[in-house]
Chains A and B, each alone.
Chain A
Amino acid sequence: MMILSGDPPRSRILTLVLVVIILALAATPFLFPGAKALNVAAKICVFAALVASYDLLLGYTGSVSFAHTMFYGIGSYAIAIALYGMGPNWAAVATGIVVGLPLAALLALAIGLFSLRVAAIFFAMITLAVASAFQVLASQLSWLTGGEDGRSFQLPELLRPGTVLIPKSLFGFEINGRILTFYLVFAVSALMILALLRVVNSPFGRVLQAIRENRFRAEALGFRTVFHLTYANCLAALVAASAGMLNALWLRYAGPDTSLSFSIMLDILLMVVIGGMGTIYGALIGATIFILAQNYLQSLMGVASNAAGEAGLPLLPGLLHPDRWLLWLGLLFIASVYFFPTGVVGRLRKASGDKSAGSSH
């Protein structure tokens, strides 16, 4: 209980699902051999942390930010540029962290202070504008960021796939640098999610929820709402930047498509809503469902599209084309905002008779 900050899943099925997901992720290198499975698992870990940090904003404070990928991108690029410029050593990793995290926090502070000065309603629009300007900036400053191509880099010796830590002869599995990197991603993501769980269940987190429900009343109770909201913004930005760093370390690459594009922002929104806003656990569920679908459902759509094409049906091949999978996710997104605003977690909690299930907005 301590480790979950007194906020257990509160549903037997949910507990079971979470345990299965976490065990499967932890055992991926041994259960599912192959590069693709490991990639999917690492991506789920990174996105679970990223989405959880977004949930702190969307689910707990009720403010819609479109700048979350910006912080994710800052983290990715900080690591990538440092390792690209300084060569594959630990000092470069440390530099990336020391430069990236404060940068993300400062930018979040600036956006927070500025947009909280104007009407609250502007927040979503302002973050959208800032994020799109940042995206253009990143692709234009090609001497620094590599432009559209991004930056590929080498990892420090210890984390390279070629580094064999425990040879196959010992346990029947080869533990190499790649697997070590995976566990690094797994452990840091897990720590960040647990930390976020701690934050939302602290008195600070309660104030955030009070602000979400009724900002005026929270203010009348004597809480400095501007301080709380800005603080939550900075925290979320820090976690997002860290997730970006993990992503860059895993991919050995940072570029606009993998860390900055608007479509990642939409992915995050979809994951939060499908998993369940205001629950933190929803982040893990949403990320798992979404990324599994992204990686395995798409090929299924290709098959269906080809079948429809051969059957000579009009329109369907186009609609079922693997590139159009966002269309179906968009429909799912609208349906889930409308019918299941509390997402998978809220549904499961409700099914097990938990009265305080989900959030009531």
Chain B
Amino acid sequence: MAITGKQRSRRIDRNYTSSQDPSILWKRWFGWAGLILGGLYGLWLLTPSAAKQLSTGTLSKAHHAWNETGCDQCHAPWSPINTTSFARSPEVIADNNRRCNDCHKMADHYPGATEHSLLALESCVQCHHEHLGINHNLLDIADESCVRCHADLAKFVIDANRPLSKVTSFDSTNGIPGHPHFQGLVRDPGTIQFSHTQHLRPGQALRPGDLSAKTWDSLPLAFQDQYQKPKKGSDPIQLTCSDCHERDHPIAGFETLEGPNATSATNSLGRQTNAHVLYKPIEFSKHCEACHQLDLPHKLDFKDKNQLLDIVATSQQQRLARSERLQSTSNPSESSVDEENRLRIAGTASGQDLIGLIKQNNPLAKTEIFKTYACSKCHQPATDLAFNNNLESIVAPSSLPTQWLKKASFSHGPHINIQCDECHKIRLDSNDLSLGNLASDVLIDGIQGCQKCHIVDEAKRREAQVDGVKIIARADCIDCHRYHDHGPQGTATGSGQTGLGQTVTQGSTGTASP
């Protein structure tokens, strides 16, 4: 009993379109509901109480409290805080930077060398990105932040004629040179004569197999506990790096290695950090005297002449006594005062009356002391030693840097799992004593030594893994360098502190001088 389409159509009221389909009504109602709900929510968003809703992401821990207090703490309304935005201007950036500087007194980046107009366009948020979650590290600065300028510094510095390195990466990639050689290692400022090679040989022998090796038994009793005893006391003593080099701070997590009272370095928040874990200066009395005993105190006071006379006279008497004992065993005879003076004078390096020179305030006295008491074994004489009687020290400053990489903040802390000789190369089988004959020789091959493990390029990383390199690390600029950390005292606008609350000290803090 099928019916045709025409029959079917005739069952429909011609005015059916005047009736409302429920789906159309629902659409209309939902549309209005969306409009009203969206409008109400939008209006509420314009009120201060809704500030948290507008945040584009949770603030990091440092600024977390401001998640609740609104945007105006950091943002100036209608002023783009992002330096890449289309409406940036030096005034707007300066205003935004001022809001950061209200709390963070940070130094500018080489204000004396950088083009001021370009420096004015540098914003804090250019490197420190916020709204990336509570666990985002604001100090995790991308290399691009540095490379942006350092790829071609000539555009950014005032004196474009000065030699400038173009740095795009730590290691060279695709023919583009990487980080330049460490300038801090180019010139050795140290003056202490010292051979790491000799001192790390068994018994500190001059050459391999030398029979005059120092044994543990030959050490004074007071120093024996300081060094590890070999199997037999008559065996040559073997020094290790840590016998002389002590960390300035224990490495966080390894405090027990340094003793019960050791406390690791802390940052400005009081948290343990491995930043700037360096090594203390070498102390003669602690690290050298066990083997190198002096007739004079290591640090002589030249201000008090009488005390100096007493010390020198006593030391000459002791020398004479030792020589008399030697003579008495070979040629026992009584020595007169004249003979004693003769021997005393003969005992000096130049055959001069040292006591007399001191009494006369003769500048040659200091030269004579320097020569007679074997200061020259390790030290170089002070400048004008022979002419200037007012010198407080007869030796040149040791000038051993505590921080070799002066423009970086190298720390031994993260390298605790690496043996010293992985980076500090010593050829113990060499007969060449000139190798490493300065205490200041850090024995670093240069940046190539670092680039063995610190690899940026992915392809090179894979190659290194294939080659069996077990430790491969990143090499971000921020790992060693600090944007705000470019001087011991900072600039007029900053405190010179790094982001970790550490102040870098530079200068000569080498071994003590007599």
Q: Determine if chain A interacts with chain B.
A: no
| Residues of chain A whose beta carbon lies under 8 Å from any beta carbon of chain B | none
| Residues of chain B whose beta carbon lies under 8 Å from any beta carbon of chain A | none
